[in-house]
């Protein structure tokens, strides 16, 4: 049992409370509210903090264990090496205050088991398994022989090519077979892939519908990577739950999203971090990145103005805090969201209370400090409502609890 007394509590949804207490009993929060009416909890370990808030979610990350965004190099590095690097990603995420990750393509489905077993400390992971892509699409490695993609790379489990309705159904079921909690599709071209155009639609509406239908039967929702408008509109028509990136979202797209309740996961971090460090990506990718960067910023601001629901995700994929777009830098996304028009409180809500709903029917009771919710809690030594960049620096995150277990910080006193 842990009892945190804080100068200020940011509950995730709703207004902050001055002078608050959070009590965690096992894996669940048993009290969160004003100190005056808090239970004494004499058996609890006691902590004091400037600020207490829910642990952060990253709704768009990749556990790939890569040290470059030249993704064609991925199959050249042994799987064991890349998986070992991910162990560092888990620790760096926790230290940054990230207690939940929606992992939209990578080793997350397997790492989730290692965390559940208690073998590794890490955030709770909701993994997609492999990214499902068309042949020649964003999830394809265009320079490899196609039978390597369908054989070796598909077996590694990070990418899966599918064309036509039966092949798409099979691809979605392969991910469910690995324990996927969400299904990820590439509905448009992308930046890090070599030959495709981010504006072009990939997958027909019929193919996307087939994937959404298979996912829905297992109470899973579908996350669609989309830059161009045709892919966004096709994905929404097919019933996907979230639009990832959303670069060319115009008014019509925003209206369609607001109407369907689809959530936007903007991933500004990868754009900002890679623009500043293009040596970590091939020239074809940096050229495409420069084309989409400005349009993407406008789209996020537009979405917010049109009342589209936004959840925080980064597209972080690299291992090593010294590298750009790496695990541990996740909190930077909130500052980017504030730059693009969200208030600090809105950015925090997008990274906490709103985030679980990106999982649809798989959403846990997380992201809010309230009795009955998962005890995923962080403490800070400065107030992110005064300066949102506090959350960008892991040094300000003084304590982290996942499911009621403290995984960062000490300083608790037994009563």
**Residue 60 CB, nearest approach to Zn ion (Å):** 6
Annotation says 184 is catalytic: yes
- Per CB under 5 A, 207 contacts Zn ion: no
Q: In 10 A of CB 311, how many CB atoms?
A: 26
**Which pair of tokens denotes residue 230?**
């045709």
> Which range touches Zn ion (CB under 5 A), out of 25-33, 95-103, 315-323, 367-375?
315-323
Q: Which of 103, 315, 374, 376 binds Zn ion (CB under 5 A)?
A: 315
| Helix (H) and strand (E) counts in the chain | 12, 19
CB 328 to Zn ion: min, Å: 17
Nearest to 3 by CA among 37, 36, 39, 27: 39
Q: Which is nearer to Zn ion, 11 or 61 (CB)?
A: 61
Q: Which of 315, 374, 376, 383 is catalytic?
A: 315
| Binding flag, residue 374, Zn ion (CB under 5 A) | no
Strand, helix or coil at 32?
strand
Give the nearer residue to Zn ion in terms of CB position, either 112 or 186.
Answer: 186
* Minimum separation from the CB atom of position 195 to Zn ion (A): 18
Q: Which stretch binds Zn ion (CB under 5 A): 159-167, 277-285, 312-320, 353-361?
A: 312-320
Q: Which stretch binds Zn ion (CB under 5 A): 72-80, 196-204, 287-295, 307-315?
A: 307-315
DSSP state of 201: B
3-state SS, 284-347, equals HHHHHHHHHHHHHHHHHHHHHHCCCEECCCCCEEECCCCCCCECCCCCHHHHHHHHCCCCHHHH
Does residue 103 interact with Zn ion by CB under 5 A?
A: no
Q: Would you call 413 a catalytic residue per the annotation?
A: no
**Catalytic annotation, pick one of 58, 95, 140, 184:** 184
CA distance 107 to 117: 16
Minimum CB–partner distance for residue 198 and Zn ion (Å) = 13
Q: Six-digit token pair at 318? A: 């690299």
Residues that bind Zn ion in the complex, under the rule CB under 5 A: 315
Residues serving a catalytic function are 184, 315
């Amino acid at each position: 049992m842990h009892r945190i007394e804080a100068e200020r509590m940011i509950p995730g949804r709703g207004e902050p409370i001055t002078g608050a207490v959070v009590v965690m009993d096992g894996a669940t929060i048993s009290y969160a509210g004003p100190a005056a009416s808090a239970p004494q909890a004499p058996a609890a370990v006691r902590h004091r903090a400037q600020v207490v808030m829910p642990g952060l979610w990253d709704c768009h990350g990749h556990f790939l264990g890569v040290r470059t965004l030249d993704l064609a190099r991925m199959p050249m590095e042994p799987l064991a090496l890349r998986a070992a690097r991910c162990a560092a990603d888990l620790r760096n995420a926790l230290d940054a205050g990230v207690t939940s990750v929606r992992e939209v393509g990578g080793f997350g489905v397997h790492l989730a088991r290692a965390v559940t077993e208690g073998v590794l400390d890490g955030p709770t992971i909701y993994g997609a398994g492999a990214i499902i892509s068309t042949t020649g699409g964003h999830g394809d490695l265009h320079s490899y022989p196609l039978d390597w993609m369908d054989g070796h790379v598909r077996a590694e489990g990070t990418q899966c090519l599918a064309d036509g309705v039966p092949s798409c159904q099979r691809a979605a079921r392969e991910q469910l077979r690995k324990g996927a909690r969400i299904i990820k599709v590439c509905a448009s071209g992308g930046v890090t892939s070599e030959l495709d155009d981010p504006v072009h639609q990939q997958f027909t509406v019929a193919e996307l519908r087939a994937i959404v239908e298979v996912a829905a039967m297992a109470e899973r929702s579908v996350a669609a990577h989309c830059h161009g408008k045709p892919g966004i509109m096709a994905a929404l028509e097919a019933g996907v739950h979230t639009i990832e990136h959303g670069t060319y979202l115009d008014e019509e797209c925003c209206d369609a999203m607001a109407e369907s309740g689809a959530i936007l996961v903007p991933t500004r971090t990868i754009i900002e971090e890679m623009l500043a460090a293009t040596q970590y990506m091939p020239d074809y990718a940096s050229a495409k990145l420069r084309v989409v960067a400005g349009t993407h910023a406008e789209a996020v601001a537009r979405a917010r103005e049109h009342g589209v629901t936004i959840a925080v995700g980064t597209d972080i994929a690299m291992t090593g805090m010294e590298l750009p777009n790496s695990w541990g830098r996740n909190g930077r996304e909130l500052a980017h969201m504030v730059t693009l028009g969200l208030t600090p409180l809105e950015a925090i809500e997008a990274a906490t209370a709103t985030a679980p709903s990106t999982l649809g029917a798989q959403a846990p009771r997380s992201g809010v400090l309230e009795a009955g919710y998962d005890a995923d809690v962080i403490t800070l030594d400065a107030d992110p409502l005064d300066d949102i960049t506090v959350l960008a620096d892991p040094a300000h995150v003084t304590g982290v609890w996942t499911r009621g277990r403290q995984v960062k910080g000490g300083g608790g006193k037994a009563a």
